[in-house]
A and B are shown apart, each in its own frame.
Chain A
Amino acid sequence: MNHTIVIRGLAVAGALSAALLAGGCQDAAKVAPALYTVTYTNATHGQPLAPAAVVLHTPGYTPWQIGAAASDGLELLAEGGDPSGFVNEAAADTAVADAASGAGLTLPGNARTVTVGAPRRPDMRISVAAMLGATNDGFAGLKDALVGDMAAGESRTFPLSVYDAGTEANTETAATVPALMGTGYDAARDDLRDQVTLHAGVVTADDGLATSGLGEGHRWLGPGAMVTVQRDR
């Protein structure tokens, strides 16, 4: 697991509140950072799920926006399955408390866990993104899910919609799909519009798109992954 702990405004605020509370003779354990165990599960029939980026943040951070162009980091994540650029962008954002990524592919039915931590704030949110590997630029995404109000020991499960990053045409050819050993990331943006939307799904060769390298087993309907967030402390 790759971890990028951010020492910025939030961490300083956490340290300050810790100092204030300590001065008030509070139990030191009460101001230790909140820790969250984030488990993501591939909910599809036949899509390999690339490593997920997991970001803990306050409302000022926007991982993506419907109708707006994807960041370069999101493009890299959605086209090539590489979350590093997206995680780095998050880490550079002052509203982000922690950003990490899972390791390796997660096959259908399998799950992977990432741990993130942050100063205790009731408005803390979580965002998660992971490429569906057998697409051009599709990713399962969870945006702005509130977790700061959870009690220690509590867990919550969220479905992840499948988004289209809007950065690559959905040709489905083997040469453009990383799970088929095609080129993943390509800096050119050649989708219908350079903007994030929900994904329309894949057509596949089995449904009449002769040039598609995908088969019917790569299709999905609805959520592409599930995320369970448990607050450990």
Chain B
Amino acid sequence: MQHHRIATLGLAAALLATAPAAAASLDVTVTNLSHNIYFTPLLVAAHPATSDLFSVGMAASADLQIMAECGDIAALSTTLAGAAADLVANPAAGLLAPGASTTAMLTTASANTRLSVVAMGLPTNDGFVGLDSATIPSAPGTYTFDLNLYDAGTEANDELFSTGCSAGLPGIPADPTMLGGTGGTGVAGADATATVHVHRGTLGDTNATGGASDLDSTVHRWQNPVARVELTVN
């Protein structure tokens, strides 16, 4: 089995440009690299180049927004299915805990030349882990991608827990770490940048019953990358 790093993908992409597209059998393993950030149900999709899930610098779609704010991948799944994408929704059957891995197996139609992976990061307001339309190499082998946590740009990063979740409603809907606090006054207002961007990180504080944040600076911070995708083209 060949092993490639991302740096070699440029060459693979160049080769693909001249090779006829063909159906592929893919194994996509996602590993949560973070110390204490959970991922909501993952969406793993092979899709046409025209069915981008998100792009840095562009406003999030409503489908992406509800995924990033509430962890709900139903709308993205429906839209992708409408574009004849091949997708696996929720391969981990729930949350993907820190340090955990899950594998999605896909058989792709020839038009589905791109791979995307998304899931919300908890606890964040509208942070999501994302692989954005990576070109699927035609040569068999294993290809590794390190993923950033992005900010959908749709919700204030107030770092306060909320009850319930809907698009645009401020607040973090759940705390699987069970180490969050209460009584914060709010870290930040509406995003100054309302397009998708690399998340600036979690501030947190050391006051479990007050302060600005309901998050704890000693357990809820993280650094990129937060996930690794190993794509095996069979």
Residues of A near any B CB (own CB < 8 A): 66-68, 146, 162, 164, 166, 170-172, 192-193, 195-201, 203, 207-210, 221-222
Interchain CB contact under 8 A, B36 and A192: yes
Interchain CB contact under 8 A, A200 and B99: no
Complex Cα–Cα for A199 and B36 (A): 10
Of the listed stretches B40-48, B69-77, B122-130, B220-228, name the one at the interface; the rest are far from the partner chain: B220-228
With both chains docked as a complex, state the minimum distance between the C-beta of B223 and any C-beta of chain A, in angstroms: 5
Residue of B nearest to A203 (CB): B217
Interchain CB contact under 8 A, A199 and B217: no
Interface string of B27-49 (1 = CB under 8 A from A): 00001111110000000000000
Interchain CB contact under 8 A, A196 and B99: yes
Interchain CB contact under 8 A, A198 and B218: no
Residue of B nearest to A204 (CB): B217
Enumerate chain B residues within 8 angstroms of A195, measured Cβ to Cβ. 98-99
Interchain CB contact under 8 A, B33 and A198: yes
Interchain CB contact under 8 A, A66 and B33: yes
Interchain CB contact under 8 A, A197 and B100: no
Given contacts A198-B223, A200-B223, A203-B204, 11 further A-B contacts (CB under 8 A): A66-B99, A67-B32, A67-B100, A67-B101, A162-B223, A192-B179, A197-B98, A198-B225, A200-B34, A209-B218, A221-B223
Chain A interface SS verdict (over half): loop
Query: What are some 24 contacts across the A-B interface (CB < 8 A)?
Result: A66-B31, A66-B228, A67-B99, A67-B100, A67-B101, A162-B223, A164-B35, A166-B35, A166-B99, A172-B218, A192-B98, A193-B99, A197-B99, A198-B225, A200-B222, A203-B218, A208-B205, A208-B206, A208-B217, A209-B206, A209-B217, A209-B218, A210-B206, A221-B223
Q: How many A-B residue pairs have CB under 8 A?
A: 66
Enumerate chain B residues within 8 angstroms of A170, measured Cβ to Cβ. 218
Q: Is B208 among interface residues, defined by CB-CB distance under 8 A?
A: no
Indicate the size class of the contact surface on chain B. 20 to 34
The residues in B between 111 and 146 inclusive whose CB is less than 8 angstroms from any CB of A are: none
Complex Cα–Cα for A200 and B36 (A): 8
Taking a contact as CB atoms closer than 8 A, the residue among B36, B221, B223 that contacts A203 in the complex is B221
With both chains docked as a complex, state the minimum distance between the C-beta of B173 and any C-beta of chain A, in angstroms: 21
Enumerate chain B residues within 8 angstroms of A199, measured Cβ to Cβ. 35, 223
Complex Cα–Cα for A197 and B99 (A): 6
Enumerate chain B residues within 8 angstroms of A203, measured Cβ to Cβ. 204, 217-218, 221
Enumerate chain B residues within 8 angstroms of A201, measured Cβ to Cβ. 221, 223
Interchain CB contact under 8 A, B217 and A207: yes
Kindly name the residue among A197, A201, A221 whose own CB sees the greatest number of chain B CB atoms within 10 A: A197
Q: Is B187 among interface residues, defined by CB-CB distance under 8 A?
A: no
Complex Cα–Cα for A198 and B33 (A): 6
Answer whether A67 and B206 are a contact pair too, CB < 8 Å, given A192-B219, A195-B99, A197-B98. no
Enumerate chain A residues within 8 angstroms of B221, measured Cβ to Cβ. 200-201, 203
Interface string of B167-193 (1 = CB under 8 A from A): 000000000000100000000000000
Answer whether A198 and B35 are a contact pair too, CB < 8 Å, given A67-B99, A146-B3, A209-B206. yes
Interchain CB contact under 8 A, A197 and B34: yes
Enumerate chain B residues within 8 angstroms of A208, measured Cβ to Cβ. 205-206, 217
Complex Cα–Cα for A208 and B101 (A): 33
Interchain CB contact under 8 A, B223 and A222: yes
Complex Cα–Cα for A208 and B204 (A): 9
Enumerate chain B residues within 8 angstroms of A171, measured Cβ to Cβ. 218
Residue of A nearest to B218 (CB): A203
With both chains docked as a complex, state the minimum distance between the C-beta of A125 and any C-beta of chain B, in angstroms: 10
Enumerate chain A residues within 8 angstroms of B206, measured Cβ to Cβ. 208-210
